[in-house]
Structure 1
């Protein structure tokens, strides 16, 4: 996670190729476990769920925390709380990205003043599960890299989810019908350093799977999609099958108040005892 790196001109700042899935304009956030002044007090503002992360933007221009970026890969222990008394909320733990203007980890609580906490949390965890299958996992969050170019107004596809959905899944826009105001979404040419739910792209612009740009994402130095120098397209041949499985893996039906992100399913299941015995007999 990075602090004060995801805002520009009173709006949100996205990576190249990143799209907003859900938007909510009436939320509050609380942080615990950090002594930096930016983390103290209740934060009021907007929350964005994108193809690669969650982003909080403050409404008060005097707020020390103007923005906070939550890449899926930095999240852990995320739970959807449904208290007997009081409003539902999302809580979890996040780790800092190197060069992200803070260090260590912190806990957070996200409240939705207009409702929708459970739907937003389930969508966020499903997106995180799908993203985890589009690239190798990390033992630690990748470092934040500042943009190498100026930011500019994002093209229209960045404002909302792909109309055709993602591997048969559609974000719950019926619960969150609003989209960000015009001229409030900006973008840089820097691709994200981690995968998103739209499959990685092979160098040269040939899409692997379904992307948020209708098969024609913007190019960044021949490596559209996300900035992974070790990306191997052959390692993602099972993306469609893995993404289909991810659609029901984002929470335990027996424990709906507690959601989790499953580990990437990159490997085939081991052979059964009978299969192993038959191979030996041959």
Structure 2
């Protein structure tokens, strides 16, 4: 996880080949561990992005000490979807710092969706993390800043392909909004950690890689000889959401 590395020009900065799956601009985030770092103090309001590789929080205040916060899936643990009797549903979990990521240690976060959608966002995040972890990386890599130029991201970065990934389609019915135009920027560097659209032998560093990922997803969904690629429906609303460890556990 890295601090203040995923924002630029009032928007979000993503990697070359990264795609935004879900977007919401009505969330708050709280940090529950005691710390002297002012960036982790207080309740923060802003936008949340779920991408093919991570979660990204961007603050709505330009004066905040935490303008952005990046949560690569490989840095997360103990993530759960909480449904209190009173109050809004929220997502709670732990994140560990990446080397060179502008902070150290680990923190527990609480992500609240004041206008609803916590369950659906949490299920989507768990599903994306499970798909990404098939690449086998467990430890977060050191953060490496992009040394190249940044530029407005091409349209495929704003939303997943219509057929989703491996037959799984993010909940666009609950989160129909896309980030505002000219608010998503892309660096020249590809992601340093696995994502759900990373295929063996294919580096998603060009817009055409999105089409390849979508094509591979369709093939995997319809191929009965590859059961590991089968679509797994998300839990029904009345079922208890899975924990992060359960959702990311590899099948034997």
Which TM bucket (shorter chain)? 0.7 to 0.9
Normalised by the length of structure 1, the TM-score is 0.78
What does residue 230 of structure 2 align with?
244
Q: Quick one: structure 1 residues 258 and 241, their matched pair in 2 at CA, closer, same or farther if it must change by over 3 Å? A: closer
For structure 1, the 5+ residue unaligned runs are 206-210, 218-238, 270-282
SS in structure 2 opposite 1:49?
Answer: strand
After superposition, residues 254-273 of structure 1 pair within 5 angstroms as 256-260=240-244, 261-265=247-251
Q: Deviations over 1:194-219 (max 9, x none)?
A: 111113341588xxxxx9610289xx
> How far apart are 1:240 and its partner, in Å?
5.0
Q: Quick one: structure 1 residues 49 and 102, their matched pair in 2 at CA, closer, same or farther if it must change by over 3 Å? A: same
CA distance in 2 between counterparts of 1:143 and 1:240 reads 33
Contact kept? 1:81, 1:258, Cα under 8 Å = no
What does residue 152 of structure 2 align with?
153
CA distance in 1 between counterparts of 2:168 and 2:32 reads 33
SS in structure 2 opposite 1:78?
Answer: strand
Q: Quick one: structure 1 residues 180 and 254, their matched pair in 2 at CA, closer, same or farther if it must change by over 3 Å? A: closer
After superposition, residues 124-203 of structure 1 pair within 5 angstroms as 124-133=125-134, 135-138=135-138, 140-202=139-201
Contact kept? 1:19, 1:212, Cα under 8 Å = no
Normalised by the length of structure 2, the TM-score is 0.87
CA distance in 1 between counterparts of 2:55 and 2:194 reads 13
Q: Which has the higher contact order (CA 8 A, sep 6+)?
A: 2
Contact kept? 1:80, 1:117, Cα under 8 Å = yes
For structure 2, the 5+ residue unaligned runs are 215-224
Larger CA deviation: 81-90 vs 31-40: 31-40
**Matched pairs, number:** 237
Q: Deviations over 1:200-246 (max 9, x none)?
A: 341588xxxxx9610289xxxxxxxxxxxxxxxxxxxxx9532326x
Q: Deviations over 1:128-170 (max 9, x none)?
A: 001011x1222x3111110020110000000011112111111
Structure 1 or 2, whichever has the larger Rg, is 1
SS in structure 2 opposite 1:152?
Answer: strand
CA distance in 1 between counterparts of 2:236 and 2:176 reads 27
C-alpha RMSD of the superposition: 2.5
SS in structure 2 opposite 1:111?
Answer: strand
Please identify runs of 4+ aligned residues in structure 1 that moved more than 3 A. Answer: 250-255
Q: Quick one: structure 1 residues 131 and 251, their matched pair in 2 at CA, closer, same or farther if it must change by over 3 Å? A: farther
> How far apart are 1:258 and its partner, in Å?
4.3
SS in structure 1 opposite 2:128?
Answer: helix
Larger CA deviation: 174-183 vs 190-199: 190-199
Q: Deviations over 1:57-88 (max 9, x none)?
A: 00100011000000011111111000011110
Contact kept? 2:22, 2:159, Cα under 8 Å = yes
SS in structure 2 opposite 1:215?
Answer: helix
What does residue 221 of structure 2 align with?
none
SS in structure 1 opposite 2:22?
Answer: strand
CA distance in 2 between counterparts of 1:53 and 1:172 reads 16
